[in-house]
Amino acid sequence: MTCTPRPIFESHGDFIDQDFTLGRPSMICAEQYLERFAPELNAIPGFLVARGYLRCYAENALTYSTYRGHVERLLLWSLIIREKPVTELKRLDADSELVPNPKWKPFTQRVLKQSRTLFEEADVFQAADYHSSTLPPPSRFR
């Protein structure tokens, strides 16, 4: 089924005010959207699991908002792209979608010899005597 992703979770203020005893989404538009998925995808039960997870982090608005975005993407990716219930996802499902970028090598950057020499001449961090109590005063870093 081809489906356009849509927001399915409330903003923080609306989320904490909802009745969590309901066995369905509190927003009618989210419920109607999730009902459009094939029954075998268990979209609403998956939503309820995700909502329960978010409820654990609802005390902090910023944490909730951050987690909501990630959880919502995972749930919708599971339903739309993998066409699999979120509760049945395995790591291999995600690994099959990840394509490494050969240009991204964060730990292989080389430092020019001239830069290393300048750093060593500054004598700021010598491996032999590295200890927080032996660090030079902050003005020396400038």
Q: What is the DSSP letter of 40?
A: G
Please write the tens of the pLDDT for every residue from 69-122: 999 999 999 999 999 999 999 988 888 776 666 666 655 656 666 666 665 665
Residue among 54, 46, 53, 57 at smallest CA distance from 24: 46
d(CA 71, CA 53): 9
Q: Is residue 142 very low, low, confident or very high in pLDDT (cuts 50, 70, 90)?
A: very low
Helices 28-35/43-55 angle, 10° precision: 140
Q: Across the chain, what does the average pLDDT equal? A: 81
Question: What three-state secondary structure class fits 48?
Answer: helix
What DSSP designation does 103 have? Answer: T
Question: Tens digits of per-residue pLDDT, 37-76?
Answer: 999 999 999 999 999 999 999 999 999 999 999 999 999 9
